[in-house]
Structure 1
Amino acid sequence: MVSPDGQRWWFDSGSLALDFGYTGGLAVEGSVGEQLHTPDDLGAWLRDRFPVAIGAARTRDLFDATMLRDAISRLALAASRGQELRGDDIDVINLVAATPDIPPTLAGGSRQAGRSVQTVGQAMSTIARDAVDLFSPDRLGRIRACSADDCGMVYLDTSRAATRRWCSMQRCGNRAKVRAHRARKLAKAA
C-alpha cells in the first residue's frame, strides 16, 4: 500500500472484501483514495486479485461495484467502532452475494468445466460472499481499527489470540514501539 505521503508499506486487511473497500470507499487516514475511476480500473483490480480470467468491465459493472464497495466500507467502519450495522448496506451485500460467484477449480486436470472467462458480476458475488463471512456474528468482533492515534485503517484480526493492534507492524506498530522505547529511556534518565 502507498500512504498519502508516498511511502510504501505492507498492509494485510485480512479479507478480500476489506481489500475491495480500500479501492476508495473505505476512506480513512492512510488510504490512497479512489482507485476505480473507469471500468478498466475495476477490471485491472479484479484481474490482480483473482486467479481466473475476468471479462471486460462495463460502466454498469463499475456502478454496481462501487455500490457494493461503499456498503462494505460503511459496515466495516461501523463494526470497527462497535456500532450497529445498517440494514440497507446488509441488503446490498446479500443481493450481490445471491448471484452466481466464481466457482472453485482444482488445477491439474485436463478438462475445464464451465466458462473459461468469468464475468465481473461473478467476481462481485465472490467479494460479497466474503463480506457475508466477514460480517458474520462470530467474526464481527475481530473487525478493528488500528490502535495508533494517527491512523484509522480497518482490518480483520486473523491472529490466533485475537491480539492484533496495528494496521501494519512496518508502519504503526514500529512507530509505537519506538515511542515506547524513547519514553522508557527518558524515564530512566529522569
Structure 2
Amino acid sequence: MTPGTRLLVSAQGERYRFDPGSLSLELMLTGGPGPYQRYEIAHAPADLAEWFTGSRLALTAPLTDVRIRPAELTALKELRNALYQVVPALAHGEPPSAEALASLNDATEASPRPVIDPETRRLAWAPPITGRQLLGAVARDAIELVSGRRSGRVRECSADDCQLLFFDTSRSGNRRWCSMERCGNRAKIRAYRARAETS
C-alpha cells in the first residue's frame, strides 16, 4: 500500500483504504481524546515508531531508524489532541482556538533532516529520526493546513455517519467522501435505489 494510505475497518467489519492527504490528518487516525480513545494504537513508543514508517513521510524517503522516547510519545499525543480542536474547526469553516494553534507553533522546533546518500545519490532521512523531529514534521504540516490556500480544502466526509477528516488533493477540489470504496459507494447505491423507486 502507498505510504500515507491506511487500511481502516468500519464498525460493520468493512475494510477500505483511506488517504487523508496530509501527515497531520493521518496522525489523527492513531487515536485521540474522548470517543477516539477506542482507536488508540500508540500504546508504547515502539507502536508509533512503527506506524510512522508507513506514513506520508515515507513518500519522500524510507524511515528506517525511528526512535521515540516515552516523553516524545506523550508530546505527540498532546499534539494529536490539539489537532482534534483545530482540524474539525477548519472543516466546518470556523476559526480554531488560539490555544490549540499555540500548541502547533510550540511543536515546530525540530524536523527530520533530508540527506543525499553519497553512493546512490538517493534521498534519505538522516538517522536516527527522533520523536521530537516527527513532532515538528506533524506540526509544520498542520500549520500549512491552517494557513494559506490549503485551509479551504480540509473536509469532513459527507456521509451522515462518518466523521473522517481529509485534505482534498483532487484537482477539482470537490472530493466529498473519505473513500469511494466505502462512503462514496454507499452514496451511489442509495442514489441508484432512489432513482429506481421514482421511475
Name the TM-score class by shorter chain.
0.7 to 0.9
Give the CA RMSD over aligned residues.
2.5
2:13 to 6, 19, 26: 6
Secondary structure in 2 aligned to 1:151? coil
1:119 aligns with 2:130: yes
Per the alignment, do residues 168 and 107 of structure 1 end up closer, same or farther by CA in structure 2, a change over 3 Å counting? Answer: farther
TM-score, structure 1 as length reference: 0.87
The Cα shift of 1:178 comes to 0.5
Output aligned runs, 1:96-135, within 5 Å: 96-97=107-108, 99-106=109-116, 109=119, 115-135=126-146
SS in 2 for 1:162: coil
* 1:87 maps to amino acid: A
Q: Which amino acid aligns with 1:4?
A: A
Structure 2: how far apart are the matches of 1:86 and 1:118?
A: 30
Alignment pair present for 1:71 and 2:96? no
1:177 aligned partner: 188
List aligned pairs for 1:33-182, cutoff 5 A. Answer: 33-49=39-55, 50=58, 51-97=62-108, 99-106=109-116, 109=119, 115-182=126-193
Higher strand share: 2
Structure 1 unmatched runs, 5+: none
The residue identity in structure 1 corresponding to 2:50 is A
Q: CA deviation at 1:48?
A: 2.7
Match of 1:16 in 2: 23
Q: 1:155 to 1:113 in 2, by over 3 A?
A: closer
- Point out where structure 2 has 5 or more consecutive residues left out of the alignment: 1-7
Identity %: 38
**Using CA pairs below 8 Å that are at least 6 residues apart, which structure has the higher relative contact order?**
1
Aligned length: 186
Change (3 A) 1:171 1:110: closer
Q: Distance in 1 between matches of 2:165 and 2:35?
A: 8
Query: Is contact 2:153-2:173 (8 Å) kept?
Result: yes
C-alpha deviation, 1:71, in angstroms = 1.0
Contact 1:4 1:32 in 2 (8 A): no
CA distance in 1, matches of 2:124, 2:40: 36
Cα distance in 2 for residues equivalent to 1:132 and 1:6: 34
3-state SS of paired residue (1:141): helix
SS at match of 1:48: coil
Cα distance in structure 2, aligned partners of 1:6 and 1:139: 33
Cα distance in 1 for residues equivalent to 2:79 and 2:165: 17
Superposition misfits of 4+ residues, deviation over 6 angstroms: 26-29, 111-114
Q: 1:129 to 1:91 in 2, by over 3 A?
A: same
Q: Which is further off, 164-173 or 149-158?
A: 149-158
Q: CA deviation at 1:103?
A: 1.7
> Contact conserved, 2:63 with 2:125, CA < 8 A, in 1?
no
Q: Distance in 2 between matches of 1:26 and 1:139?
A: 25
- Contact 2:91-2:165 at 8 Å conserved across structures: yes
Distance change in 2, residues 1:27/1:148 (3 Å): farther
